[in-house]
Amino acid sequence: MKQVVKLNLKFGQLNDIMSYPFSIFFTIFFLLMSNVHAQKNEQTKESILYYFCSPDSAFVGVKDQLGNIIIPATYRAGFNYDFKHPITDPVIEFQDTDVQPKRKDSPAIPIGDVYSREGKFLYHAQFFDNGLDYYSEGFRRYVDGDKIGFADKYGNKVIPAQWNFATPFHYGYSRVYTGKWTRKYDKSDEHWTVVPDAPDTDIHMINVKGEKVSPLAKQQNPKDYFSDGNYYPYPFSYTAKEQKIADQLNSLEVLGLIARLRFSDEQQDTPRLQFEITEWPTSRFPYYTLQGYQNQRAEDDYIFTVSEDGKNIFHYSFFITEEQKSLQKWIVSELEECKKYIRNHPNAPYRFDVKKHLKEWKNK
């Protein structure tokens, strides 16, 4: 408990205090200043937050470590909330919302309520895979009315909601849909695609700044993005330091060998693994995130985080309770799996000398 010292002084009492021995006056002054600093530190220190249930366990809210209610328990509890561990994400998420799509058939579907850690409502996420939209290359889609925009992992609306539909970012690009579009379900009534519902619809690419990007007349860079028969400019650019960090992973032959092993000889294009920086260090997460692409297709198993100085590399895990393996441990583990795969598939077209690489990486 903090020690709080209050002085309620009348004008004439100041001389009395000043007549105290200097050591006593200094002690009072020190306690006052200590209390001011303690209050300031308390305000700047981030609270530890937890999901909690209402007394009847029907609803969920958020409290801090002192029991203060940050968000009242008004959200339905019939979803997968972690009540044992603190909320470590920069934002707080609830799976349900009372908001409905502006149009019944709109492809912009609001789902869930997202708050800041201080309890301020931020946005509704776009519906995807029976829940809130996933983050892709550091961005997530959000819904405002019947339009879609993009938010970052810290709750900032980095690209305003202005499109009837948009795809997640991939290789630095998102495909956005202007004009009126509607949902069309397949025979299962579970999966849907977007189809035009007016003559003035259009589709084009945007970059991470929200800028429209036109296709190139012809390929200019081996790393230009190829989509739907068109090439788009290679979207990534780095400082010398960042290029060195990306090169660390791109220069590791063993990663390409591991990723390529399970491809069949029926593949028309030789699979190529390529790493690009998709997220940069912040005060909350001081690491670069590097996404692995196989022939420009994002691979979830090939995401790594690299410390700001480039010295420490970890395999990224989506689960907070799972150990973040160092690059060395992850490669050894994957090589062990490769050894089993080759044993069971002796004619695999992309088999390689696993024993040689295992010996090298176990000794690192």
Q: What string of DSSP letters covers 237-257?
A: ---HHHHHHHHHHHT-HHHHH
**Is 297 among the domain residues?**
yes
> Are 193 and 257 part of one and the same domain?
no
What pLDDT is recorded for position 317?
A: 81
- Exposure string over 174-189, b if 16+ CB within 10 A, otherwise e: bbbbeeebbbeeeeee
> Are 248 and 319 part of one and the same domain?
yes
What pLDDT is recorded for position 324?
A: 82
Measured at the CA of 39, the angle between CA 36 and CA 41, to 5 degrees, comes to 110
> Are 224 and 246 part of one and the same domain?
no
Nearest one of 140, 213, 223, 219 to 173, comparing CA atoms: 213
> Are 149 and 224 part of one and the same domain?
yes
What pLDDT is recorded for position 176?
A: 98
**Rounded to the nearest 10 degrees, what angle do helices 327-344 and 253-260 cross at?**
40
147-152 and 139-144 strand pairing: antiparallel
> Are 101 and 213 part of one and the same domain?
yes
**pTM for the structure as a whole:** 0.84
**Is 168 among the domain residues?**
yes
Residues of the chain with confidence (pLDDT) below 50: 1-44
Can you tell me the distance from the alpha carbon of 86 to that of 77, in angstroms, rounded to the nearest whole number?
Answer: 17
Helix (H, G, I), strand (E, B) or coil at 318: coil
What pLDDT is recorded for position 15?
A: 42
Number of domains within the chain: 3
**Is 189 among the domain residues?**
yes
Helix (H, G, I), strand (E, B) or coil at 117: coil
**Is 259 among the domain residues?**
yes
What pLDDT is recorded for position 18?
A: 40
What pLDDT is recorded for position 267?
A: 61
Can you tell me the distance from the alpha carbon of 305 to that of 311, in angstroms, rounded to the nearest whole number?
Answer: 11
> Are 273 and 295 part of one and the same domain?
yes
What pLDDT is recorded for position 265?
A: 72
Write down which residue in 207, 232, 257 finishes a domain.
232
What pLDDT is recorded for position 204?
A: 98
> Are 221 and 283 part of one and the same domain?
no
Can you tell me the distance from the alpha carbon of 182 to that of 195, in angstroms, rounded to the nearest whole number?
Answer: 5
Number of C-alpha atoms within 13 angstroms, CB side, residue 35?
Answer: 13
Nearest one of 251, 292, 264 to 350, comparing CA atoms: 264
Task: Give the structural domain span for 24.
Answer: 13-44
